[in-house]
Amino acid sequence: MAVDQKSISNIDWNYPNLLSKETLLRLFKLRGINQPGIDAFDKNVLVNVYNHYLLPLPQRKYRPNRRGKEMTKKQIILAKTSKTPSDDDIKKMPQRGIKRPRSVSEYNYGTLSNHCVQHPTSISRSRGRNETDEQRVLRLQRQRERKRELRNSETPEEREERLRRQRVRDEERRNKETDEQREERLIRQKVRDEQRRNEETYEQREGRLLKQRVRDEQRRNKETNKQREERLIKQRVRDEKRRNKETNEQREERLIRQRARDEQRRNKETNEQRKERLIRQRARDGQRRNEETNEQREERLIRRRARDRERRLDKCSLSYIHRFYQLW
């Protein structure tokens, strides 16, 4: 195994095809690969074994700043000064085996010719760093398509588990966020919802509202009395804020829509449902009257007298017109 030291020191470890068979065997002995009968293997087989076990991994690619340039120079100097150890160096070194993913005896020498190791210079480590806006948009679009395919192929149990994990993550994120972050998130959410509603068709809107009603019904069936009271209180606060911000025209439109919905609901309800609704309404009115102050009670009575006066004037005008036509 006597090999010239000067010729070996100029050989790069990334090109085992340029090494002789004796040098390859010496390297295997240095790295603890002592398989009986390895001396009888062909050089092509030894090169493939070298590519599988001993080929150096890709080196780090530093950034083009001051520190990165210094590290790149040191890397080049280290690559130039690296050399293959000689037989004397191997004898001086302690013989210690190195853990490998599998031994040489388990290696399939019939498929060594098909084994191809990618050269370190061809491996890119800057994935997603130097991409343009178009490349980023395409990557995100492909990512959304993959997620959509996965969701279409998942079972109901997997979907419930995924949604549960998502709710836990959202809850943790909301507990950590500040008031400003929460306002920004809600603004972005409203913008996204507005865009989605403008793009959806009538059928999609009906399907979305139907699913929303089903979810609300399930949530209300599961909630306790305490949770129901808290939900109603938060709903009243939101409605109060919305009413304070709306104009007179928006208020009139809202009341018209509300009367139309109430009229449709009353036309569909049965006698039993109507009785239950009136009972609940009287109970709510009783609670409201018990909680109101004297000033609120006076304002309510004034509004009620004004409504009654308008109703009587309307009736008087109708009766006057009716009599006028009869006399005519």
Structural domain spans, the chain? 5-122, 141-173, 249-289
85/117 Cα distance (integer angstroms): 24
pLDDT digits (tens, 9 = 90+) for 159-173: 888 888 888 888 888
Residue 318 confidence (pLDDT): 64
pLDDT of 112-150, one tens digit each? Answer: 434 444 443 333 444 445 678 888 888 888 888 888 888
Share of the chain above pLDDT 70, in %: 75
pTM of the model: 0.31
Q: Summarize the confidence of residues 48-71 as an average pLDDT.
A: 81
Q: How many CB atoms lie within 10 A of CB 105?
A: 8
What's the mean per-residue pLDDT of the chain? 77
Check whether 70 has a pLDDT greater than 60: yes
State the pLDDT confidence band at 75, using cuts at 50, 70 and 90. confident
> In whole angstroms, what is the distance from residue 138 CA to residue 133 CA?
9
Under the banding of pLDDT at 50, 70 and 90, the label for residue 48 is confident
